[in-house]
Chains A and B, each alone.
Chain A
Amino acid sequence: MSNLYEISEVVKTYSKGREQVIALNKVDLVIASGEHIAIQGPTGGGKSTLLQMLGALDRPSSGRVMFDGEDLAKKSNPSLTQIRAKSIGFVFQNYNLVPTLTALENVEASLAPLRMERRERRRVSKEVLSSVGLGDRMNHLPAELSGGQQQRVAIARAMAKKPRVILADEPTGNLDEATRDEIVDLLEKLRKDNGITLIIVTHDSHVAKRADRRLKISAGKLTTIS
């Protein structure tokens, strides 16, 4: 199994007023392709910052973030945008769906940067929505869907482009237990079926236990739990 991520000596600092905050402190991490990783840790420990580094949303202050053989730290903004468009899917705690677009259009929005033909884009979006069990909710606006359904749309949106990795930031944080399990089952199934890497940031130990590997990040330091 090849490595999807190779992170070494990554430091990320922020300025907060006159203070310098160290969000990531010399983090080293290797993630194999198709692996299921759970990242836990206290609030403000650096979970989201690490996820942003992995998601090509931000660059480290120092160190290397190798993704599929390319150093994201040295990539230009357009290149990072291109990598996100093609290879990285995001799932957020608050779903982050565009409120004015229907479920189907939200999924299509993730395919828009790929210059896919409109008909093909629509076909793929419908297929993915059906695969997450929302074949009958495609034309509903987010406000007309339950929390679990909205998260399924978000997962479909992340999956539609057939990414190399899905980065999920507290994907079950706003869901009840039953729905939480459904969502985790769905993510796990998609990972296995499509051979993608799944990295979940979560506070929920129940969710974290489903991962191949559990990591903990606290005060910017990354450690392996088990």
Chain B
Amino acid sequence: MFLTYLRRELFNRKRQTIVVSLGLALGVALVFTVSAVSNGVQQSQKQVLQSLYGLGTDISITKVITPDAAGQGGRRFDVGGGAGQRDANGNRKFSQSRLIVMPGTETFDAATIAQVSALSEVKGAASALKLTSISFSGQLPDFQNGAGFNGDVGGDNASEGAGNVSGDNGVVLMPPSVDQSAVPGDTLPQTVVTSTMPSPSPSNSANSRPKVNQGQGIGGDSNFSIETFSVMGIDPSVIDVGPLSSTSLVSGRALTSSDKGNLVAVIDESYATSKSLAVGATVSLADKDFEIVGIIASSTSNAETASNVYIMLDQAQLLSTNPDVVTNIYVKATSSTAIDGLVVDLKNLLPDATVSTTADLASSVSGSLSTASKLIDNLGKWLSIIVLSIAFLIAILFTTSGVTRRTREFGTLKALGWKSRNIVRQVAAESVVHGILGGAIGVGIGYVSIKAFNAYAPTVQASTSVFGGAAPPFGGGRGFGGGGGGRIGGLGSALNNSVDVVLKASATPTIIVSAISLALFGGILAGVFGGLRAARLRPAEALRSVA
């Protein structure tokens, strides 16, 4: 009788069934969608971090340069006083390439990794030397003879200069300037690159933006271009910690310990695509040709790898003239509970270093991805609570008013000898079914919403500091430094890894179960209220009130 009665009530009171179920469904659908988008945001954040620091990395150790008061934090690009070929007008043509430690980064002694590995909480550690390849090619005017360099270049964080930065790929246009002063010395003027290194970019290869940064200078008799990309010196013997742990081989082979001393490189797939490079081709680093032996891609689908080019650590140290140093140490703890203690030990061991956990790194993610995350955390959460509360209230009100409307029915059943608990069970069961239906419909609506969201697939930007924290105040390099060299300033922005991430909502089994549980809870809540009301009905009063 229980099931027959239940079935009849649900089918023959369609309006109530539909209204209560849909009310719950809308609440559940909103919670489901918000949770799925939130999950997508979290996944995107993870992908950003994984691409930069690797899957198995618990702690990242770096050192940040403290710029001096004058803001002279930039690095020199000294093309050499006598370098290049002069033309008839005295203009000189250059084509030079440098490997420099990423601006703003300090180095560790390579032996530091042994000290880190010796700590009891460390399961594994890897080190890397993060470099920037800067290639300069073009023509510079004869500064010594007063043929002015008309380009006055500044940058984001430069204290001087007003370079126009435009273009998606970081093109720097240097218009003629009022500054006609001759600059002595064969120096590369201060310039700026707007994009950064490394810069994992959008998930979608079709939208993928190469990390290569190009600057162009046009002014006076100068006409040159600057290309920068990221290079990482790695120790291939350790691949389960660090950036390589989240990569997979696309073609060719990986670097191995036997490559020590060889000019071989593995490159990022997106970089390879953008530069039309394949296995067997060469890439020029510090005026040396490296043979590309393999192409790797991020093992996560939505981000690029940590660097454009990977070479052996010894070659990176040699060509950047930084022997026996590294810039980054990646550490894997023995267990998640050991991380806090390990951070303390590492800070004691390396007091000048920046020790960042994955939580610190996650908090360093900024940009519109972070805004989206905050929006979902705040607005989404409260909106879900409000809508869900309304849905629960609707379910409770409809159920209790349904019981009131059915006073005669329940009074009659009690008169026929039905026990109160049988009537309560009947009311509660109807509510629970409303909850289940609401949950199922809600998940269905939620899936449609997710499909719509993913079809729109908004692209958000995530920025992370390469230091795992806020970018240090670089920039402000002096333009047109005299004497021996100008400074590459204005690289403050370059210290951030800016990533475009296609945001995709995804529902996990936990989200589905939670959504249905929530609807079920709403149904049970309504059933409890309705059931209590039904239980309180006394048959005589119920029949009398009807009469």
- Point out residues on A near B: beta carbons under 8 Å: 48, 52, 55, 57-58, 78, 81-82, 84-86, 90, 92, 94, 96, 98-102, 105, 108-110, 112-114, 118, 121, 141, 157
Contact = CB atoms under 8 A, between A and B. Distances in A.
A85 B412 CA distance: 12
B419 interface: yes
Nearest to A78: B419
Nearest to B415: A90
14 contacts: A48-B547, A55-B415, A57-B540, A86-B417, A90-B415, A90-B416, A96-B408, A98-B413, A112-B1, A112-B418, A113-B416, A114-B417, A141-B12, A157-B416
Contacts of B540: 52, 57-58
A118 B2 CA distance: 11
B9 A82 contact: no
A203 B191 CA distance: 106
A117 to B, nearest CB: 12
B8 A113 contact: no
B543 A113 contact: no
A98 B409 contact: yes
B13 A100 contact: yes
B302 to A, nearest CB: 52
Nearest to B12: A100
B408 A105 contact: no
Contacts of A85: 416-418
Contacts of B413: 98, 109
A121 B2 CA distance: 13
Given A48-B547, A58-B540, A96-B408, A101 B5 contact: yes
B417 A113 contact: yes
B55 to A, nearest CB: 58
Contacts of B4: 101, 105, 108
B320 to A, nearest CB: 82
Nearest to A167: B415
Contacts of B418: 81, 85, 109, 112-113
B133 to A, nearest CB: 78
Nearest to A111: B1
A57 B538 CA distance: 8
B416 A92 contact: no
B211 interface: no
Contacts of A101: 4-5, 8
Residue among A82, A84, A108 facing the most chain B CB atoms (10 A cut-off): A84
A82 B417 contact: yes
A118 B418 CA distance: 16
